[in-house]
Amino acid sequence: SARAQEAATRFPFTPIAAQTDFQVHVPEGYVHDILVSWGDPLFDGVQAFDHATGGAAADSDRVFGENTDGMETFVIGAHQIMAVNNEYVNPEINLPQTADGTPASAEDVRKLQNLQGVTVMEIVEGPEGWAPVKGSRFNRRLHHNAPMTIAGPAAGHALLQTEVDPEGLNVLGTMGNCGAGKTPWGTYLTCEENFNGYFGASDGLGGEATVQAGYKRYGIHEQGQYGYEAFDPRFDVSKTPNEPHRFGWVVEIDPTNPDSTPVKRTALGRFKHENAEVTLAPDGRVVVYLGDDERGEFLYRFVSDAPYVPGEDTAHLLNEGTLYVAKFHDDQSGEWLAMTPETTGMELAEMLIFARTAASKLGATTMDRPEWIAVNPNAVEAYCCLTNNKNRGLKTNAGGDATPVGGPNPREANKFGQIVRWYPAGDDHAADGFQWDLYVMAGNPETEEGAYAGSPNVTAGNMFNSPDGMAFDSAGLLWIQTDGEDSNEGEFAGMGNNQQLAGNPVTGEIARFLTAPNGAEVTGLCWSADRRTMFVGIQHPGGHWPGKEGDLPRSSIITVKRADGALVG
Ligand code: FEO
Ligand code: CA
Ligand code: CA
Ligand code: CA
């Protein structure tokens, strides 16, 4: 069409139409393939994936995990290493022998625990395309029982102590690993999001008033989501009341050192972390933008005390600094409110452990579910996906603050989502003030009117809902991935399956690049060292993708290349 041709002059690809099938689609001139799927062996001696069993329980800590999400690539000498999150499980698929995915034994629970967390793996491109290097010394599975340490101001606090870890310094596992981040010193940041669902209570939600208030604000219920608590007392808060406090953190992993122990960085606060977008202030201090993905929760920023100095020790950088929370004003100004014992009236460690409660005391702006944040490499500005919010105007589910319509959250029945952008004062990401606008307000210009039709850069040809994953490429294009309603009906008609779009940050133009199989969300994006391959995550696909009729659907990372071998970002 004329529209597609016009857009093609401004994007390095011809935009594709919305799709409703169970396949992946990419533009003409591009090819895609599978890098790795849930259950693929990462170590020698592991059997190939078996669709009848969902993979052997005994091998479940030596295969690629389930539900791929945030990821980053690292170069070590001649090796390319990928660190990638395995966010959660689809138990009815992972345990196909059970009636409904409810674990029937400790072995079932262990299998689910093994399939999640983080995968670190060497990858290589050969004549048959990209694949993990089976048995590479870099390969690791950092699952729900992998040893980690706790660092920063909350490390060792009484609220982090348990019977098996009386010092409150050593925790098993990372969970709910959603988005990711990468530091300038070459480490991987994995973000613990929906940790609450792994916990249940066999004998009531006990504990002191502050602990009980925390359970409420963070969504710990008597009924766990995965049935862990029936077989693993660590996840039964009636028995281990402090265990939930040991999750909800950002965890730093050195993918270049297979012997290194991951470190939970408590200075970055405890909430349902989406991703951790790292940039540097002009003076070299480390700035980390952080979203808390819950209706009516907040947007945060961490600023280190010390500057990053290449070649010097970096262990202290994410331990010593200040956490801030965002307040947006209706006049399109905003400010970062410092969270300190003085401003919140809370002791430092407790303020970080219950960061949501602390931020409420400062009157921060309740947001429409902050998902990924991305910093533009070519301009001093940052973007955050506010994915959707069916509760705007009501109290939140989690016992939080009132959520009035206004500022960057302008719609009450926000089914479509928007992307807010802010411009730090003085071109300094560590500054206290900023200006903001909306880069895009998703909507349906065909079926809706007014604000629900979307902003002018939303057209019949690029409609989408629920922006979630987001990253800039080195050329300055903003890639947007969606996790939304893919019925293609009603107010979602014309949007089709979840998708990946490219946005021009200067003109605001947006074009559809890739569509996922129906049922899937698109989440996780990074590039090979030579930027000739784009890695894209396909999470919870429907149908039997990427296999044949009768196969279990398998979350997978795909590779996208140009057929002519040119750069893809
Ligand atoms: Fe795991 Fe908010 O997405
Ligand atoms: Ca997400
Ligand atoms: Ca989402
Ligand atoms: Ca997801």
Output the CA angle 272-273-276, nearest 5 degrees.
170
Q: How far is the CA of 468 from the centre of ligand 1 (A)?
A: 7
Nearest-atom index, ligand 1, CA of 274: 2
Ligand 1 pocket member 371 (CB < 6 A): yes
Ligand 1 pocket member 274 (CB < 6 A): yes
Ligand 1 pocket member 384 (CB < 6 A): no
- The pLDDT assigned to 396 comes to 60
Q: How far is the CA of 269 from the centre of ligand 2 (A)?
A: 18
- Could you tell me if residue 505 is inside a domain? yes
Q: What is the pLDDT along the chain (569 residues), one digit of tens a residue?
A: 444 444 445 799 999 999 999 999 999 999 999 999 999 999 999 999 999 999 999 999 999 999 999 999 999 999 999 999 999 999 999 999 998 999 999 999 999 999 999 999 999 999 999 999 999 999 999 999 999 999 999 999 999 999 999 999 999 999 999 999 999 999 999 999 999 999 999 999 988 999 999 999 999 999 999 999 999 999 999 999 999 999 999 999 999 999 999 999 999 999 999 999 999 999 999 999 999 999 999 999 999 999 999 999 999 999 999 999 999 999 999 999 999 999 999 999 999 999 999 999 999 999 999 999 999 999 999 999 999 999 898 766 567 899 999 999 999 999 999 999 999 999 999 999 999 999 999 999 999 999 999 999 999 999 999 999 999 999 999 999 999 999 999 999 999 999 999 999 999 999 999 999 999 999 999 999 999 999 999 999 999 999 999 999 999 999 999 999 999 98
Ligand 1 pocket member 87 (CB < 6 A): yes
CB burial readout 145-168, b (16+ within 10 A) else e? ebebebbbbbbbbebbbbeebeeb
Other CB atoms within 10 A of residue 451 CB: 16
DSSP notation for 323-355: EEEEEE-TTSEEEEEEE-HHHH-S-HHHHHHTH
Which helix or strand (DSSP H or E) is residue 209 part of?
A: helix 209-218
Which parts of 266-410 are beta strand (E)? 273-280, 285-292, 299-307, 321-328, 333-339, 370-375, 382-386
- Could you tell me if residue 176 is inside a domain? yes
- Could you tell me if residue 163 is inside a domain? yes
Other CB atoms within 10 A of residue 282 CB: 13
Q: How far is the CA of 521 from the centre of ligand 4 (A)?
A: 7
- Could you tell me if residue 129 is inside a domain? no
Here the contacts of 431-434 (C-beta below 8 Å, separation 24 or greater) are 431/336, 432/335, 432/336, 432/338, 433/333, 433/334, 433/335, 433/336, 434/333, 434/334, 434/335, 434/336
Nearest partner of 520 among 537, 535, 533, 503, judged by Cα:
537
Nearest-atom index, ligand 1, CA of 369: 2
Q: How far is the CA of 143 from the centre of ligand 2 (A)?
A: 19
Q: How far is the CA of 469 from the centre of ligand 4 (A)?
A: 9
Ligand 1 pocket member 252 (CB < 6 A): no
Nearest-atom index, ligand 1, CA of 87: 1
Q: Is the peptide bond before 546 cis (omega within 30 degrees of 0)?
A: yes
Q: How far is the CA of 536 from the centre of ligand 4 (A)?
A: 13
Ligand 1 pocket member 521 (CB < 6 A): no
Nearest-atom index, ligand 1, CA of 176: 1
Judged by its nearest atom, the ligand closest to the C-alpha of residue 273 is 1
Residue 137, token pair as written in the block: 């010394």
Strands 147-151 and 263-265: parallel
Task: Give residue 240's domain range.
Answer: 2-34+90-97+141-562
- Could you tell me if residue 223 is inside a domain? yes
Distance of CA 337 to the CA centre of its chain: 24
Ligand 1 pocket member 486 (CB < 6 A): no
Strands 467-472 and 433-441: unpaired
Ligand 1 pocket member 368 (CB < 6 A): no
- The pLDDT assigned to 9 comes to 53
- Could you tell me if residue 57 is inside a domain? no
Judged by its nearest atom, the ligand closest to the C-alpha of residue 177 is 1
Q: How far is the CA of 179 from the centre of ligand 1 (A)?
A: 7
Q: How far is the CA of 376 from the centre of ligand 1 (A)?
A: 21
Quote the number of domains for the chain: 1
Nearest-atom index, ligand 1, CA of 88: 1
| Digit-coded pLDDT (tens) for 331-379 | 999 999 999 999 999 999 999 999 999 999 999 999 999 999 999 999 9
Ligand 1 pocket member 178 (CB < 6 A): yes
Residue 258, token pair as written in the block: 């297979």
- Could you tell me if residue 58 is inside a domain? no
Q: What is the DSSP letter of 163?
A: S
- Could you tell me if residue 53 is inside a domain? no
Sign of the alpha-carbon torsion through 514, 520, 526, 531: negative
| Digit-coded pLDDT (tens) for 64-102 | 999 999 999 999 999 999 999 999 999 999 999 998 999
Q: How far is the CA of 276 from the centre of ligand 4 (A)?
A: 16
Alpha helices (H) along 285-408:
341-344, 348-353, 355-361
Nearest-atom index, ligand 1, CA of 483: 3
Q: How far is the CA of 142 from the centre of ligand 4 (A)?
A: 19
- The pLDDT assigned to 398 comes to 64
Ligand 1 pocket member 385 (CB < 6 A): no
Ligand 1 pocket member 108 (CB < 6 A): no
Judged by its nearest atom, the ligand closest to the C-alpha of residue 389 is 3
Residue 441, token pair as written in the block: 């307000």
